[in-house]
Structure 1
């Protein structure tokens, strides 16, 4: 919901009263958020006891080994690295691209980004239906490919401001909806093929690989590439890298899965001792 209203409101604010005042409003919103959090009085539930006392290093190794040896999770992790490396090109350069290359004003920029929030909300409402209709594997791969095909409009956007706005608006509105369905299918699949005991460690491994390594590395590379070939060229490379990353999953067992339970009988994961089960 924040993505739906926030960017549009911010764009209008910048357009009307200038960027410094908009930043001041943003800072005040954090103070209000902190104050409301301090008002929460609900007691926290006690942490569940562990089955065995293991050191944090053992848990990290267990998560890494499980991801590396799992026929379903490894392709998802391998895809996640380039997807986040090249996705960072958008994170770093997207606003600059729309403002300087396509000449959108701050209000239009906010509207375009807000469209992504609307698309994500709609995608979340239809995710279960799409997964049920197509099967979890095909839903994951199909929505990723469709979003990539639509996403090519972003680096190709040009012409009058109205046309350029439409060309970046559609990937935000529809593409973000497709990516939300993909994300729901991916997380549901991981939860279905990984035992509960080790699920947290696997998710932590995937998050570190994506957000701790892939995205920061991509942000650095994006800045360098943009300096060498321009913002539009860097955006195009970002799109191509994200689009090609899905090949890791296409050529894996994932597309053939109708449901996560199809793989449970053949599931392989690593125990704390390093043995597979």
Structure 2
């Protein structure tokens, strides 16, 4: 019996196996990974795989839980298994960098990578988080040129947003982060941005509530760039004192699971315009998809897939 006949015969069997169709995965399928921890909550595998199938690309996208100490091995796996590329998420957006061959200028400025592209064994690190965030602001009709942005958190995604915001015309960016073991490194990074970009950057202790209140009084946009608000901290916000939310403030969250974090709910109740992390999730994925496949992502399909996966 030929393979084709065997598949047809299997499809026609009654019972549980009836109606099965052959998998689109073949010996020629190229793999793309999502590396980081945690990753089980991510909508990226569903979004990318749906687009690959709908658009006829022979790729598969899988998530791998990779701890910070295993960043080097994750990059080695891209080379060894000849992955077409990968998305990189916390906590390894910085720790993969020494093991890559090249960085784009934006990734070098941000000191972080969220996309890796494998071109015949040459691994290039890109950062699309900031680009995706700024596109989500534009889609929401938010005016940001010349404005003042306050960002909570100084992690990789937050700094990527700060870099792209400065490149796109935001003229003042104030970042608040707790004085954790990474604060000094963040201070050095922000100092370099002040030297290289046409924007005034400042980094302060998030526990300095007087200074936070002072900066929030002149802010046009507030961005939560911390993971606070995800399911493990769903009842919390990174903002100490929700009375700092003014109706004219635009409030954004990089967290997208759940889409409506406590911060966004509180901001909406106070009359603020809100922008969820779902738009950033969509728009940061589009350039990565194009780099891997050579074609633009179908944003209609991608958006519908994300919407179907969103928490009620």
Short-chain TM bin: under 0.3
The higher-RCO structure (CA 8 Å, 6+ apart) is 1
Q: TM-score scaled by structure 2?
A: 0.22
Higher strand share: 2
Write 1 or 2 for the structure with the bigger share of helix.
1
Q: TM-score, normalised by structure 1?
A: 0.24
